[in-house]
Amino acid sequence: MAKQTVRQCPECGCGLSRYNTESLCAGCARSQGATERECPAVPDRVWQDPEVREALSAWDFGQVSRLLRQRSSLRQDDMAQLTGLSQAFLSMLESGARRLTNIDKIIEFLTGLGTPAELVPLPLPRKSARPAGREPSNPFIGELDPSLPWTASRMVAALNNAAGGGSEVPPVCGRC
């Protein structure tokens, strides 16, 4: 019987399967492809999808991640690269086993994906009866402009409003 020679990957030296028609092993091909590819990005068309918009408005970040991947052909590794979250965490987030609750991570997630500001519900100042000349006591008043970039204070205001707390700081005493 004739002995077959084992082909080897020129990058790492591991043996190549007889079914592998490429010159590199799968691991080296993936890593080489990652360095040759552009940085992954979510296409603008994906943000127009009604399901993506609905998941964003519900603050369902697991569903947002899953829909973005499906609509833009991104892998969880690509999403991890964009958001700064691990691939394992994204997998658990999408399955519902974990939730994204840390405000800094929420900001990183939304910013990394390039989420348009108009798709994330931000609280608007409520009209209230105030005596003339009295300035509003809301510390987030300047943070409510949706054209501004994401900041921690804007996200806190948005989460407060989404939780039903409103956008205003409650008065210190009952007479105000």
Better-predicted residue by pLDDT, 128 or 41: 41
**What are the pLDDT digits (tens) for 140-154?**
445 555 556 667 777
- The pLDDT assigned to 137 comes to 46
pLDDT digits (tens, 9 = 90+) for 90-118: 999 999 999 998 887 888 888 889 888 88
**DSSP conformation letters of 82-136:** HHS--HHHHHHHHHTSS----HHHHHHHHHHHT--GGGS----PPP----TTPPP
pTM, two decimals, is 0.52
